[in-house]
Chains A and B, each alone.
Chain A
Amino acid sequence: EDKVVQSPLSLVVHEGDTVTLNCSYEVTNFRSLLWYKQEKKAPTFLFMLTSSGIEKKSGRLSSILDKKELFSILNITATQTGDSAIYLCAVVGGTYKYIFGTGTRLKVLA
């Protein structure tokens, strides 16, 4: 059965800290891995990764995929209170079903 596991489940840090969020997966016919940020309601897209070892970067956020070890990490540097959210990892397999992990709840304290 396809599955996506995220760790840690929750994290509390102070502004300025760097955090690393993890996502490991097992999926048949892997196509891509996506990261989303969920604040109040709908998840909003951050990154899509399809190739191993190529870092995607957007401001203070970056992400990389390891298809051999079946995981991805999302890094956030110099965290701000506005980064407080649930970060979701989703993996797409052969049937184009997007399977979400349980998410990592990040709280950044001022």
Chain B
Amino acid sequence: EPEVTQTPSHQVTQMGQEVILRCVPISNHLYFYWYRQILGQKVEFLVSFYNNEISEKSEIFDDQFSVERPDGSNFTLKIRSTKLEDSAMYFCASRINPTNTGELFFGEGSRLTVL
């Protein structure tokens, strides 16, 4: 069964360092998302991406964050200068059809720990 894959599964970094979280969405999906979940809290929307550009971003997604689809398969989230409060589980998700809603398929997540 096709699945969304994310790497790394866990990353530990020092405050101020850059991190890149990688995702490979399901191959025929066209709409991509990043969500984060701070331990014990809700799943929060960060950004949606369609047709090689950001469709929408939340207030959390400030200038420290960026997304890219560099090669037609990977979808990356970059955090330029990490802060302690960026520690969270980051989920990549994708769905097939940009003009209808449907199941959002989630990856297993990348746990980021900022020290």
* B105 partner residues in chain A, CB cutoff 8 A: 45
Asked if A96 and B55 sit within 8 Å, CB to CB, the answer is yes
In the assembled complex, the Cα of A88 lies from the Cα of B35 at a distance in Å of 14
Q: Are B101 and A32 in contact (CB under 8 A)?
A: yes
Residue count of chain A within 8 Å CB distance of chain B: 22
Number of A-B contacts defined by CB within 8 Å: 55
Distance in Å from the Cβ of A68 to the closest Cβ of chain B?
20
A-B contact pairs, 26 of them (CB 8 A): A31-B101, A32-B101, A34-B103, A41-B89, A41-B108, A42-B106, A42-B107, A42-B108, A43-B43, A48-B101, A48-B103, A50-B101, A90-B43, A92-B101, A95-B55, A95-B56, A96-B48, A96-B55, A97-B45, A98-B33, A98-B104, A99-B45, A100-B35, A100-B42, A102-B41, A103-B42
B interface with A by C-beta (< 8 Å): 31, 33, 35, 41-45, 48, 55-56, 89, 91, 93, 98, 101-109
Given A43-B106, A92-B101, 17 additional A-B pairs, CB 8 A: A31-B101, A32-B101, A32-B102, A41-B108, A44-B106, A45-B105, A50-B101, A90-B43, A90-B104, A95-B48, A95-B56, A96-B31, A98-B45, A100-B43, A102-B41, A102-B42, A103-B43
